[in-house]
Amino acid sequence: MAQTHGLWLHVDAAWGGPALFSKKLRRLVHGIELADSVTFDAHKLLGASLTSSFFLTQHENILLEANDVSGGEYLFHADLPGLDRGRLSWQCGRGADAASFWTIWKSLGNDGFGEFVDRLVQIRQDTLEWMQGEKRLLLIADPEFLNICVRVLPPNATPDPNWSKRVREQLKNQNKAMVNFSTNTEGSFLRLILAHPYLTSKHVQQILLWALAVE
* CATH number for the domain harbouring residue 94: 3.40.640.10
Q: How far apart are CA 169 and CA 177, in angstroms?
A: 9
In a domain, 42, yes or no: yes
In a domain, 126, yes or no: no
66 shares a domain with 21 = yes
In a domain, 175, yes or no: yes
Q: Which of 108, 113, 107, 149 is nearest to 128 (CA)?
A: 149
24 shares a domain with 73 = yes
pLDDT (tens digit per residue) in 174-213: 999 999 999 999 999 999 999 999 999 999 999 999 999 9
Average pLDDT across the chain, whole number = 89
In a domain, 116, yes or no: no
pLDDT (0 to 100) of residue 4: 83
145 shares a domain with 82 = no
Residue 39: asked if its preceding bond is cis (omega within 30°), the reply is no
98 shares a domain with 25 = yes
Give the torsion through C-alpha atoms of 153, 157, 162, 168, to 10 deg.
Answer: -40
**Which CATH number covers residue 139?**
3.90.1150.10
Lowest-confidence segment of 75-79, 103-107, 180-184, 208-212 by average pLDDT: 75-79
Q: Which amino acid is at 18?
A: P
90 shares a domain with 24 = yes
Q: How far apart are CA 31 and CA 20, in angstroms?
A: 11
In a domain, 31, yes or no: yes
Complete DSSP assignment for 20-52 = GG-TTTGGGGTTGGGSSEEEEEHHHHS-PPS--
In a domain, 3, yes or no: no
Range of the domain at 205: 133-213
pLDDT score of 84 more than 80: no
At 62, is the pLDDT very low, low, confident or very high (cuts 50, 70, 90)?
A: confident
139 shares a domain with 175 = yes
pLDDT score of 61 more than 90: no
Q: Which amino acid is at 53?
A: S
Q: How many domains does the chain have?
A: 2
pLDDT (0 to 100) of residue 91: 62
Q: How far apart are CA 190 and CA 180, in angstroms?
A: 6
Q: What angle do CA 208, 214, 215 make, to 5 degrees?
A: 150
Half-sphere exposure of 141 (CA within 13 A, CB side): 8
